[in-house]
Amino acid sequence: MEKLYILDASGYLYSSYFAIRNMTNAKGESTNALFGFIRSTLKVIKDFDAKHIVAVFDGPNNTKKRKELYPEYKAHRQVMPADLSYQIQRAQVLCSLMGIPWISEPEVEADDTMGSIAMWAAREYGAHAYLCSSDKDLCQLVEDKISILNTSKDNLIIDAAGVFQIHGIPPSLMVDYLAIIGDSSDNVPGLPGFGPKTAAKYLNQFGSLDAILSNPANISEQKKREIFIEKKDLALLSRELVKIDLSIPIPKDTDFFARKALQVSELREFLKEMNFKTLLKDLESSEESQESRKAEVDVEYTLVDNEESLKKLMDYLQTQKSICFDTETTDVQPLRAELVGIGFSVEPAKAWYVPANGTLGLEKLLAAIRPLMENEAIAFYGHNVKYDMHVLRNYGINVANIGFDTILAYYLLNSHSRQSNLDVLSLEFFNKVKIPIGDLIGKGKSAISMRDVAIDKVCAYCCEDVDYTCRLKLLLEKQIEERGLGNLLYNLELPLTSVLMEMERTGIFLDVPYLNALGAELKDVLSVLKKEIIDLAGEEFNLNSPKQLGEMFQKLEIKPLKKTSTGQIKTDSDVLEGLKDRYPIARLILDYRVLEKLRSTYVESLPGDVNPNTGRIHCTFNQFVAATGRLSCQNPNLQNIPVRTDVGRGIRAAFRPQKEGWSYLAADYSQIELRLLAHFSEDPHLLNAFNLSEDVHSYTASILFGCRLEDVQPTMRYQAKTVNFGIIYGQQAYGLSQELGIDMKSAALFIEMYFNRYDKVKGFIEAYKEKARVTGKTLTLTGRERAIPEILSKNSNFRSLAERLAVNTPLQGTAADMIKMAMLSIAKKMKESNFKAKMILQVHDELIFEAPDDELEALSLLVKDEMEGVMKLKVPLVVDIAIGKNWKDC
């Protein structure tokens, strides 16, 4: 044993628990600390090829000995969070599965056990011991054969010189140094008024704490001298508390510390249960896993690159009822992608690949597959099949019949899951590590086009894709049927795929010269703002640097200042909002940030998204991202362009019809989520307000302020509107007080008054929370599911968030389903009536159309009728129609 790596397991777990947020498994159990622990442990093993290693945990009742000396030791620490306790136990199980020895000695802190192991390994066995920790207390152990390894600081190895560089003293004085400065995290008192620099100065001058205490008269500073005299016992007590006990019994057999073989099958199941998909992929890629796995079923992957074999394949595929297909292309943007080849599969373990850059060539490939893909009798499917439909449409091929999409099916079954790409799902369901795309084309700037990859490699890659998509379909279609989600998949999401594809291909026109002019104006405004901020600061600094801004706030003595866990001053928007009324510089920085974000995110970048061939932006609409069922938008995200500021509205003005004599028509559901709240809750007052076509916000204001409807003022209506929407999103008194700028007591009173009047709303909220607790999920009116396992979490933050989701998802999710249903119906009617108009954008509750002016009246009637009639509720659906020559005007 030449080297021994001693892991501060408890330190890794604690720091990860507070550093990593919102990680749970399928049961809603917290996994953040465990995940951080694994990553840190694997880093040591990988970076240092650690053959001898041990994970050291705090033992049960580990503060007992030091509390006997000083009852206040660690007394200020909160009780261990319930969802950390079981993660520590699981970390120990994990160590056993990974072949990592671990120790947890009763009534002993991890530091003491680590120190005892390190001293044994170094002094009695001659091995170099690395204490893998960020705990400065361990610096007292550093010597020739013992070093600190801080993996959180880029594998910083701290030797004796490193200790001196960091703390200003040699390791031999570290115990005395810690005794003087104390330790707030452990509640070690130390000496009042002594910081690190002062402690180091005196220790270097006198040589030790004992020397200082024996000769206090030699201390020139009176105050410091008095403290050493008066607090001598406190210094000695502190030294006992910080000194690491090296007498802990430990295994003294090098075999104990040798890393053992992985327990592959058990570890695989453990990682699956914890939902650690990236770690699972690493496991399945390991040599040990591949050796332990049973031989896979033989696969038959065929390269088709001559006319005879292509005709034979096409003849065979024309006899099939269902075919999986996948395209290989030159670009992830479908409208810019060129076809490199296409793969097919009809049963597991069997697939074909037809290259477009081989002997056959592109034209023969297209001619052969066109009649196949346009055969309405064959149901085609894939994984994110809309992309492949786009690619073939680029060559004039319309896929006639889409019968399934594995990414949509998986999403409907697991809408809360954040990962749904084929590589992850193949691993999750089949323990299959697919060929990474990076192995073919490389990464970053050195990446090559798929067209330049050897055809046999692309063949293996593509065949694997269609093979595992085929396997996945067989699995998921059964689950869809068992869970009763067939109607959503086959009658809503799959038909919507074609509608979205047409919207994406149509795109939206951007007036680039107008946007460039707006950008120039914004630069002038930002320049003026920057000068005002620098003048107030009194010196130049980088406005875009949070660190420099924090330092500037310190110089200007702006209070109160909050700090991050790393000690950096917070300057986020919440902090600036709290300071803006007292400090003009905070208000100006807020204004600067808002404008700069709009300039860089939209004004500057949107022209780069314009397709040079069409002059339009062709964003992508995703059906499988938002857990509520809402569509999301990317490349670029046009759903996020702001509307509440003048500049935001100015950006929207850049979107206009491309042709003269055309206009935009915007159709927006009015207060859709509040109407759904009335429907779900059946609250008579809320139902009455909507059924009598009252302004629901004014109606609520009249209740909150105890006045007549006609006496409601705009400010009162705004506050009532905030309460109405806050209720939907589970806002509590604190959030409402921040939103309205009122005190907590008034905010709580508003909420109480709201529920007193709308008492059935309160009943609806509590009922849906309880349903989620019992079933672990929440449902929309259409039967869309969202799993919420965190509803029973022992972590109160997770639990509160889950409760809000249990209430909001039925409202937001039903609204999302309704507008999807309306889109299908409108698209069908527009096609039947031969409208020239196009549906070009969906922004949650709003649809945007580009239409010739002579179609606007008919289109308005059609859209309004279809959107308002899409679902029968207990209150009327109302759609507002707006028409303008650009998006802003709508």
Please, what are the averages of pLDDT over each run of 10 residues along the chain (890 residues)? 95 92 88 95 94 96 91 86 93 96 95 96 93 94 95 89 94 94 89 90 92 87 87 92 94 94 92 89 72 64 97 98 98 96 98 97 97 98 98 98 98 91 93 91 92 96 98 98 97 98 98 96 94 92 87 83 68 82 90 92 95 95 95 94 88 96 97 95 93 90 87 90 85 83 86 89 94 95 95 90 94 97 98 98 96 98 98 96 96
pLDDT for position 418: 81
Query: Which residue in 812, 815, 821 sits closest to 496, CA to CA?
Result: 821
Residue 214: CA count within 13 A, CB half-sphere? 7
Q: Kindly report the number of other CB atoms within 10 A of residue 630's CB atom.
A: 21
User: Which CATH topology does 511-605 take?
Assistant: Taq DNA Polymerase; Chain T, domain 4 (1.20.1060)
Looking at the structure, give the CATH architecture of the domain made up of residues 1-168+250-280: 3-Layer(aba) Sandwich (3.40)
Query: Which residue in 390, 415, 414 sits closest to 402, CA to CA?
Result: 390
pLDDT for position 670: 94
| Structure letter (DSSP) for residue 217 | G
Residue 342: CA count within 13 A, CB half-sphere? 28
* Separation CA 744–CA 742 (nearest Å): 7
Burial 483-515 (b: 16+ CB within 10 A, else e): eebeebbeebbbbbbbbbbebbbbbbbbbeebb
pLDDT for position 576: 84
Query: What homologous superfamily is domain 681-813 in, according to CATH?
Result: 5' to 3' exonuclease, C-terminal subdomain (1.10.150.20)
Sign of CA dihedral 44, 178, 79, 804: negative
pLDDT for position 753: 87
Q: Which residues in the chain are classed under CATH 3.40.50.1010?
A: 1-168+250-280
Q: What H or E segment, with its residue span, contains residue 366?
A: helix 362-373
* Separation CA 552–CA 615 (nearest Å): 45
pLDDT for position 391: 98
Query: Which residue in 81, 77, 69 sits closest to 185, CA to CA?
Result: 77
Query: Which residue in 178, 182, 142, 177 sits closest to 162, CA to CA?
Result: 142
Q: 580: exposed, middle or buried (C-beta count within 10 Å: 0-12, 13-18, 19+)?
A: middle
CATH of the domain spanning 300-483, picked from 3.40.50.12780, 3.30.420.10, 3.40.50.1370, 3.40.50.620: 3.30.420.10
Which residues lie closer than 8 Å to 427 by C-beta, 6 or more apart?
A: 277, 280, 281, 284, 433, 434
pLDDT for position 882: 97
Angle at the Cα of 515 from the Cα atoms of 513 and 520, rounded to 5 degrees: 95
* Separation CA 258–CA 751 (nearest Å): 61
Which residues lie closer than 8 Å to 282 by C-beta, 6 or more apart?
A: 42
* Separation CA 314–CA 229 (nearest Å): 96
| Strand pairing class (777-779; 785-787) | antiparallel
Query: What homologous superfamily is domain 170-249 in, according to CATH?
Result: 5' to 3' exonuclease, C-terminal subdomain (1.10.150.20)
Q: 382 by DSSP, 3-state: which?
A: strand
Kindly report the pTM of this predicted structure. Answer: 0.85
Write out the two tokens for 471.
């396997």
Q: 402: exposed, middle or buried (C-beta count within 10 Å: 0-12, 13-18, 19+)?
A: buried
Q: Which residues in the chain are classed under CATH 1.10.150.20?
A: 170-249, 681-813
Q: 93: exposed, middle or buried (C-beta count within 10 Å: 0-12, 13-18, 19+)?
A: middle
pLDDT for position 313: 98
| Structure letter (DSSP) for residue 81 | P
pLDDT for position 630: 96
Q: Which residues in the chain are classed under CATH 3.30.420.10?
A: 300-483
Sign of CA dihedral 528, 533, 535, 540: negative
* Separation CA 347–CA 351 (nearest Å): 8
Q: 755: exposed, middle or buried (C-beta count within 10 Å: 0-12, 13-18, 19+)?
A: middle
Burial 787-820 (b: 16+ CB within 10 A, else e): bbbbbbbebeebbebbbbbbbbbbbbbbbbbbbb
Indicate the angle between helix axes 494-506 and 796-832, nearest 10 degrees. 70
Which residue's structure tokens are 């935001």? Answer: 648
pLDDT for position 849: 98
Q: Kindly report the number of other CB atoms within 10 A of residue 192's CB atom.
A: 10
The amino acid sitting at 797 is: N
| Structure letter (DSSP) for residue 168 | S
pLDDT for position 829: 98
